[in-house]
Structure 1
């Protein structure tokens, strides 16, 4: 009996979409299982308790309109992109509608565009704006060897000063024949395209060797992926703005190595 009122309150606040059906259902259940108790000598006390429980459920149902729903949160699709070849950093967002805060951030554009200076024509149109370069460190890369034909290969080391949980590499302009990381073979067959994704290495020293077909000029694109954004570089969001899922934005530190 003592647990009835707390249960009614919790069902009202949490489980009942209409704020009424569960309290009433619990009251009906309570009346059903209390029939035997009503036949006892203490039935008058039981009846009083049931009456109070019923009044409590009706009071909760009566305040349903006063309850305010929590605004739904949404994912933040904003990207902080720090690019070594252009020695700059940018805010990026896929094409789509902007809220008032985002319109101020991308005030330099009236609509999405191809960001040719950074991505060429490969990526779709997007929103972009310049950002401070202090959000991330650039990938720390050392080229050890630029092997010539007939043993054409790229040999380099990579350390993520950002302790990135995800690192992506992509070979540009060549067919990879064999790829190793820290002496471990990753691929040993000819591949028209090659993309490598490494997880959980943080600031470990990674030694890559990529053997390619022929004697091409080719590149290796390196991207360090870090969840979340450098919030201290962003203007504050309005208090009444829709809340965002924490760490749903993405930060990327990128470099492109060219082997001639």
Structure 2
């Protein structure tokens, strides 16, 4: 667990320095064979310190990499957008949104070792211009909230069975033991569902037609008809072998959807 140290400079500037075990701070002059090893090492340090990192500048000379930087995600300058209430045209107005960037100085910089394929750390700064994240809130960082392919596939499979993203998130928490073991919040799961719908967009009608056409080719005694007026799908009718047998035995059946419009 990281306990941050808060300091004040003579001009009353406040900065924070993480307190982590020594084995995670020996960065200066370290050399690495692979770039991914450096990223993994700095990610481990960031997780224990209470901040997130991002890959930054790559400098090249004649195509060869000379320097590589990794920064705190809050390293950029704050960005603001001005909102002028006197302008009535909504297209030319924007609200003033505060940015999470605070010009943080924490960084890790590397350069290649001459005549080798190795990288060497030559600059390491562990001072932050913002408070660090407490350990039990690290799952809310951008890195921890990133939903992977398995989670997206899980959300999609449940949606096919009419199970929404909120229940999908609760199921993930139950399956993985606790809330902290799940990547993403309920909002992230909802956004993932939205992204799937946006990806399908106006192709959903064509997907239905393609699916039913495939069934009529591959399933015995399966009937399928549809009508398109202009570019609009007006109606679909299908009947499989079981429904035809039921019709022979019982005649016409009228079914009522008692749940219609009961779920927003």
TM-score class, shorter-chain normalisation, is under 0.3
TM-score by length of 1: 0.17
Q: Which has the higher strand share?
A: 1
The normalised TM-score by structure 2 is: 0.17
More helix by proportion, 1 or 2?
2
